[in-house]
């Protein structure tokens, strides 16, 4: 099925103070939990994104209240993807609530060229951990990362949960709204890695949770599968 991608910029004039993050060079915070969504059916608001408006160097991902869209924030700019039947609408706004929200602030990133033999999701997950550990990041604590470049393929979805449905599953989340596969597409991917937050902000089968936006900013959403292209760049928070 083909989907139409629309971009809509909304300028918000609400005054809101910045969120202060403690710790150097970064910390990871979160509101809500996957287990509350999957096992309890709780899709109510856990964070007001207006509280994060004007926060410098903010990177975040999550799901909109009532599972009515996906949240992506890159360097303080929001890309909220909403499924409208066969369309994906991108809104650049903080004027919404999140049922799941994972966030950090990173002022400076250090780049690593991903070896061409790293292509699968599983290979990349191992590469992220090994590279972070070698670089000096404590991989026993959650940390953010970016992946940029031309991806061979990305499986994606934008959730659009049916009102009143209380039976949650990973498959239903993927198929509730627009979903598909991108090929040979230049993307920016935001991810959070953690070995200790399964059912919180990562699923049991992976230590990573990733969202993406395309380079032309016409599509953004949750990343379900990934095959890397050659010459992609991993970015980790600068620590030395």
Q: What is the CATH number of the domain that holds 77?
A: 3.30.1330.80
238, 130 contact by CB (below 8 A):
no
* 63/152 same-domain check: no
d(CA 61, CA 212): 9
* 143/226 same-domain check: yes
* 81/135 same-domain check: no
* 64/168 same-domain check: no
d(CA 151, CA 72): 18
* 31/70 same-domain check: yes
Domain, as residue range, for 116: 109-237
Tally of structural domains, the chain? 2
* 10/28 same-domain check: yes
* 69/121 same-domain check: no
Q: Tell me the pTM.
A: 0.89
Nearest CA to 239 out of 112, 136, 147, 140 is that of: 136
Instruction: Report CA 161 to chain centroid distance, whole Å.
Output: 18
* 116/232 same-domain check: yes
**Tens of each residue's pLDDT in the chain, 240 residues:** 445 455 443 333 232 223 334 445 799 999 999 999 988 989 999 999 999 999 999 999 999 999 999 999 999 999 999 998 889 999 999 999 999 999 999 999 999 999 999 999 999 999 999 999 999 999 999 999 999 999 999 999 999 988 887 888 888 888 889 999 999 999 999 999 999 898 889 988 999 999 999 999 999 999 999 999 999 999 999 997
């Amino acid at each position: 099925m083909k989907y139409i991608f629309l971009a809509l910029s909304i300028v918000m004039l609400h005054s809101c103070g910045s969120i202060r993050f403690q710790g150097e060079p970064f910390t990871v915070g979160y509101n809500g939990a996957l287990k509350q969504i999957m096992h309890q059916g709780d899709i109510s608001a856990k964070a007001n994104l207006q509280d994060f408006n004007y926060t410098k160097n903010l990177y975040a991902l999550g799901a909109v209240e009532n599972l009515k869209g996906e949240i992506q924030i890159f360097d303080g700019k929001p890309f909220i993807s909403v499924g409208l039947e066969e369309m994906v609408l991108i809104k650049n706004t903080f004027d919404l609530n999140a049922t799941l929200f994972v966030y950090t602030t990173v002022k400076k990133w250090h780049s690593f060229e991903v070896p061409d033999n790293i292509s699968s999701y599983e290979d990349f997950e191992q590469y992220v951990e090994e590279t972070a550990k070698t670089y000096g990041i404590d991989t026993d604590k959650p940390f953010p990362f970016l992946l940029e470049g031309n991806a061979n393929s990305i499986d994606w979805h934008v959730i659009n949960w049916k009102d009143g449905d209380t039976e949650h599953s990973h498959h239903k989340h993927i198929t509730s709204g627009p979903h598909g596969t991108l090929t040979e597409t230049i993307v920016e991917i935001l991810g959070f890695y953690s070995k200790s937050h399964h059912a919180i902000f990562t699923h049991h089968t992976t230590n990573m949770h990733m969202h993406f936006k395309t380079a032309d900013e016409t599509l953004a959403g949750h990343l379900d599968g990934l095959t890397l292209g050659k010459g992609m760049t991993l970015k980790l928070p600068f620590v030395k």
